[in-house]
Homo-oligomer: A and B are copies of this chain.
Amino acid sequence: MSETVSKLIDRLYAEADQDRPDAETPDVGIVMGSDSDLETMMTGGKRPGAYDAFVDELEFAEQTDYEHPPDKRFTFETYVTSAHRTPDLMTAYAETAEERGLEVIIAGAGGKSADLPNMTASIAYPLPVIGVPVQEKSVDSVIGMPAGAPLVAVDAGKSFNAALSAAQILARRHDEVHDRLVAYHEELRDGVGAVSRELHD
């Protein structure tokens, strides 16, 4: 069995046993099926992604080291794990998610068989999972969950909105996140207003 994968699995279960305080663990988990999804899911693709929403608009930080969390209060972590090539790693990630302190997961996958968000939602239940179809052709596979298997989805490629939705869930408990969402929104509205004003002045 692949050693790299085994070690990652072990680390996830070890971390689940740590029982760290909420403020030191990532609040949002971002997981995707392939490194080719990184642009769409995070940043650098055709449009802004979840990374851009969290870091540029909502003052979150990415957490890459469990021992040394960033200074920012709100953080997210990023994993690549394929439902079809590493189903064991995917299972370990989802099984440990709640115990590792995540509040919500954003899960993205491309292709027509975009199983990662679905399986992650099924295993991490009852943690809320927001599915991101990485391609237009992934929408049906992500959104089509049967009764009893909840998952909510955003449109193809819109990991930016998935980050906003994840923040809306956090905002129910954390007023700072609520305030940042409102501040972001007012800027956005100013932008629309500016265009119409320029057409008439």
Contacts and interface: CB of A to CB of B under 8 A. Distances in A.
A79 to B, nearest CB: 5
B150 A161 contact: yes
B196 A147 contact: no
Nearest to A189: B2
A48 B160 contact: no
B143 A154 contact: yes
A119 B48 contact: no
Contact of A4 (B149, B167, B193): B193
A13 interface: no
Q: How many copies does the complex hold?
A: 8
Interface in A1-37: 1-5, 7-8, 33-35
B80 A196 contact: yes
A84 B122 contact: yes
A87 B89 CA distance: 14
Contact of A83 (B78, B112, B118): B118
8 contacts: A1-B186, A4-B193, A77-B200, A78-B199, A87-B123, A115-B115, A128-B172, A147-B160
B143 A153 contact: yes
Contact of A64 (B139, B188, B199): B199
A182 to B, nearest CB: 6
Contact of A126 (B7, B140, B150, B171): B171
